[in-house]
Amino acid sequence: MLLSFYSYRVGEILSVNRKPLIVKGQLRQLENTPLVMTSLLILDSLHLVFARLLLPYFPPTTSSLYVMAIATVEVALILKIWGHIRFEVLFRHLWFFLSIGFLVGSSTILTFMAVAFIDPGTGSLLLKSSIVFSVGLGVVWLRERLASIQTIGAIIALAGAVIITFQPGDYLRLGSFIILAAAFMYALHNALFKRYGGGINLPDFFLFRLGGTTAFLLFVAIARNELSMPPSWQAWAILFLTGTVNIVLSRGLYYLTLKRLNLSLHAIILTLSPVVAVGWTILLFGIWPTLQQLIGGTAVIAGVLMTVG
């Protein structure tokens, strides 16, 4: 029954009609808006939590591969049932999807690697610097214009990232640098999507984005000789849960709301997800953020709000 519900909701998400929406009153145009946005916040906050749960079972490359492969199969099956798979889109935009796969795959490996050095709550705070990177790429590459208050916000957010990064302990610094690298690669993926992916239907984009990412992760796992079977049924259970919740449902809602809301409003709402992630980290792992991490995280969130405001 639960699987049927997942299939129905994901199919509904992926089959959404991509019509341009007016900025004013956008939230009212999402059906059951409070439920959709609350679900997105909860699911988005679990990204690094799942990565931490998988850490005892696999190297980062292997866990990333299995999670992405499971998500790809699930989405392909759902779209097959709904009759939405169009392989001509893949061949027409092959280099685009390979580039997206490289960026998302690299970002995923890095985030799964980082949780060995930094707690999920602090990592989620640092990941929000991807919004600032996206704004910077928009200005430099997409020729978007930046207001003075947005420039100040970007500086504050980057200062917060520096505060979190340069703290006592080599492991914490290494984890912070890894998270920032992952955030930049994900921001570059967003810029590519905005620049070249606007004309691709959401179901096609989502499936082939997952497929391209899985192909890249498989190549890396084979090259590093890290391809191995899950050691237990518990590992399989966490993998399927992560693939379904962390990728299929979370990213499906992410792209649905990204299409239906303007970028600033979308970013403002997602800025709250690290707060939820800190709560998950305390509840599941008993790890409390330090004062320096709280100060840096507050600066990141405040700067992001100013940047997208």
Cβ atoms of residues 134 and 271 within 8 Å = no
Residue 167: per-residue pLDDT: 62
Residue 247: per-residue pLDDT: 93
Residues of the chain with pLDDT under 50: 1-27, 29
Helix (H) or strand (E) segment spanning residue 254: helix 250-260
Residue 31: per-residue pLDDT: 59
Residue 292: per-residue pLDDT: 80
Q: What is the pLDDT of residues 233-263, one digit of tens each?
A: 999 999 999 999 999 999 888 877 776 666 6
CA–CA distance, 223 with 129 (Å, rounded to integer): 30
Residue 63: per-residue pLDDT: 94
CA–CA distance, 302 with 159 (Å, rounded to integer): 11
Please, which residues have CB within 8 angstroms of residue 73's CB and are 6 or more apart in sequence?
Answer: none
| Residue 169, Cβ density class (10 Å: 0-12 exposed, 13-18 middle, ≥19 buried) | exposed
Residue 9: per-residue pLDDT: 45
Residue 201: per-residue pLDDT: 87
Q: Cα separations (Å) of 184 from 104, 145, 267, 268? A: 10, 20, 15, 18
| C-alpha gyration radius of the chain | 19
Hey, where are the domains in the chain?
34-308
Half-sphere exposure of 284 (CA within 13 A, CB side): 17
CA–CA distance, 103 with 181 (Å, rounded to integer): 11
Q: What is the pTM of this model?
A: 0.77
Task: Pick the closest to residue 247 from 2, 8, 1, 10 (CA basis).
Answer: 10
